[in-house]
Amino acid sequence: MGVALQLFGGFRAVRDDGQVIPMPDRSRALLAHLALAATPIQRTVLAAVLSPDECESDQRRNLRQALYAIRQALGHEAIVCTDHSALSLDHAIVRADICEFRRAIAGSGEKSLLRAIELYQGAFLQGETFRSSDFEDWLRARRGELLEEVVNALLRVTRLEADRGTFDGALSHARRALELDPLCEEAHRQVIWCLAALGQRSNALRHYEVARQLFADELGVDLEAETARLRSVVGEGNIDVLQGRRDHLTDGSDALRPHDGQHEPASATPPARKPIRAAVIAIGFAACGAAAMVSLAMFQWPEARLPPPETLPSIAVLPFESSGGEKAEEVIGYGIAEELTAMLASHPGISVLSPSRAARIGPDADPSDVSKQWGVRYILNGSVRRSGQVLKLIVRLTDTQTGFQVWSTQLEGDDKSSAELRIAEIIDETLIGFSGAIGKEEQRQAWGKSDRDLLEQDYVRRGEQFSLRFNPEAHSKALQVWHEGLARFPNSVRLKLSLAFIYRYAAEAGNGDRVRNLETACTLGREVETAPRKSRYEEWLSHWLSAKLAQWCEDDFPRSINEIEVAIDMAPYDASARADLAELLANAGKIETAIEWLQEAIRRDPRPPDWYHRNLAWAHYLDGRDDMALQALQSQRNLQPNPLLAVVYARLNRDAEAQEALVAYRRLNPSFESANEVQRPLTSTLRKKWIGDLTSVGMN
**Which residue in 176, 146, 148, 183 sits closest to 9, CA to CA?**
146
The answer to whether residue 618 sits within a structural domain is no
Q: Are residues 350 and 424 in the same domain?
A: yes
Q: Are residues 147 and 280 in the same domain?
A: yes
The last residue of one of the domains, among 228, 252, 286, is: 286
pLDDT score, position 266: 33
Residues spanned by the domain of 77:
3-131
The answer to whether residue 619 sits within a structural domain is no
Q: How far apart are CA 174 and CA 182, in angstroms?
A: 11
Contact 334, 382 (CB under 8 A): no
User: How many helices (H) does the chain have, and how many strands (E)?
Assistant: 32, 12
Q: Are residues 387 and 357 in the same domain?
A: yes
Contact 344, 352 (CB under 8 A): yes
**How does pLDDT run across 232-263, given as a tens digit for each residue?**
888 887 656 555 543 332 333 343 444 444 43
The answer to whether residue 653 sits within a structural domain is no
pLDDT score, position 299: 28
How do beta strands 378-387 and 314-317 pair?
A: parallel
Residue 456 burial (CB count, 10 A): 17
Residue 146 burial (CB count, 10 A): 20
Q: What is the mean pLDDT of residues 293-300?
A: 30
The band of 61, judged by pLDDT with boundaries at 50, 70 and 90, is confident
Q: What is the mean pLDDT of residues 403-408?
A: 93
On the question of pLDDT at 582 being above 50, the answer is: yes
Residue 559 burial (CB count, 10 A): 16
The last residue of one of the domains, among 411, 432, 453, is: 432
Q: Are residues 173 and 273 in the same domain?
A: yes
Residue 571 DSSP label: S
**How does pLDDT run across 467-486, given as a tens digit for each residue?**
988 788 999 999 999 999 99
Higher local confidence (pLDDT), 354 or 158: 158
We report the CATH number of the domain holding residue 362 as 3.40.50.10610
Q: Are residues 161 and 228 in the same domain?
A: yes
The band of 178, judged by pLDDT with boundaries at 50, 70 and 90, is very high
Q: Are residues 13 and 84 in the same domain?
A: yes
Q: What is the mean pLDDT of residues 499-506?
A: 94
Q: Are residues 278 and 330 in the same domain?
A: no
For the chain, report the end-to-end CA distance as a whole number of angstroms: 77
CA angle in degrees (0–180, nearest 5) for 511-513-516: 125
The answer to whether residue 291 sits within a structural domain is no
Q: Are residues 336 and 281 in the same domain?
A: no
The answer to whether residue 341 sits within a structural domain is yes
Contact 680, 689 (CB under 8 A): no
pLDDT score, position 451: 92
In the Cβ-directed half-sphere of 630, how many Cα atoms lie within 13 Å?
Answer: 14
**How does pLDDT run across 92-135, given as a tens digit for each residue?**
999 999 999 999 998 878 999 999 999 999 999 998 888 788 88
Q: Are residues 270 and 318 in the same domain?
A: no
Higher local confidence (pLDDT), 281 or 324: 324
On the question of pLDDT at 447 being above 90, the answer is: yes
pLDDT score, position 275: 34
Q: What is the mean pLDDT of residues 190-217?
A: 92
Structural domain count of the chain: 3
**How does pLDDT run across 322-371, given as a tens digit for each residue?**
888 888 888 888 888 988 998 898 899 999 998 888 888 988 899 999 99
Letter for the amino acid at 340? Answer: L
On the question of pLDDT at 268 being above 60, the answer is: no
H/E stretch holding 400 reads none
pLDDT score, position 261: 41
The answer to whether residue 523 sits within a structural domain is no
540: three-class secondary structure by DSSP: helix
pLDDT score, position 244: 55
Higher local confidence (pLDDT), 522 or 669: 522
Give percent of the chain above pLDDT 70. Answer: 87
pLDDT score, position 251: 35
We report the CATH number of the domain holding residue 241 as 1.25.40.10
If phi > 0 it is left, if psi is from -120 to 50 it is alpha, else beta; for residue 16 that is alpha
**How does pLDDT run across 597-636, given as a tens digit for each residue?**
999 999 988 889 999 999 999 999 999 999 999 999 999 9
Q: Are residues 326 and 411 in the same domain?
A: yes
Q: Are residues 382 and 321 in the same domain?
A: yes
pLDDT score, position 700: 62
**C-alpha 26: how far from chain center:** 20
The answer to whether residue 303 sits within a structural domain is no
On the question of pLDDT at 300 being above 90, the answer is: no
Q: How far apart are CA 24 and CA 94, in angstroms?
A: 17
Average pLDDT, the chain: 85
Dihedral angle computed from the Cα positions of residues 41, 43, 45 and 47, in that order, rounded to the nearest 10 degrees: 130
Q: What is the mean pLDDT of residues 497-526?
A: 92
The answer to whether residue 651 sits within a structural domain is no
Q: Are residues 181 and 281 in the same domain?
A: yes
pLDDT score, position 127: 86
On the question of pLDDT at 585 being above 90, the answer is: yes
Higher local confidence (pLDDT), 280 or 365: 365
